Amino acid sequence: MLSENLYTLRRKSGLSQEQLAEKIGVSRQAVSKWESGLSTPELEKLRALSEFFQITIDELTGDGSPSGGREEPKAPPPRKTAGSLLGAGLCLLGAVCLILSGVLTAASPATADRIDASSVVTLNGTGILAALFVLLMVLGIILILMNTGSKKK
């Protein structure tokens, strides 16, 4: 917004409202009204302001914060590391297997009973499979979180 950008630029430049007003040929009250949003400068004054701060009129009047004539380097988009990809793959594999085992149990209860009968653990076989698939998903999520946390530092 113009009023916020103008205030920010003026403060970054170390100028008072009066000093800025003298530089572009207006009164201090005009600068005060522009910064408070009570009025907006005419086009010729917008041009003078943009030239003075070495930015475009779009940057001056836009919603983003003004760069003050310096092009700020943009951060590159985050790269997917092997750990993130492995984590996403494990998470996806666990979710797909969990869904498939649920569909298999619902579609063919006899097959689920055979899996249960083949298990030597007191927890039935389908429960073990479900726990294994959830574990895959949790491991995937942990890997993803570990890799995104290390990128922020």
Question: Stretch 15-29: mean pLDDT, rounded?
Answer: 92
Tens digit of each residue's pLDDT (9 = 90 or more) over 56-65: 988 888 865 5
Q: Is residue 148 situated within a structural domain?
A: yes
Both 147 and 86 in one domain: the answer is yes
Are the beta carbons of 6 and 34 closer than 8 angstroms? yes
Q: Is residue 70 situated within a structural domain?
A: no
Query: Is residue 140 classed exposed, middle or buried when 0-12, 13-18 and 19+ CB atoms within 10 A define those classes?
Result: buried
The per-residue pLDDT of the chain, averaged, comes to: 79
- What is the span of the domain harbouring residue 16? 2-61
We report the CATH number of the domain holding residue 31 as 1.10.260.40
Q: Is residue 46 situated within a structural domain?
A: yes
Question: Stretch 95-108: mean pLDDT, rounded?
Answer: 79
Question: Stretch 78-89: mean pLDDT, rounded?
Answer: 73
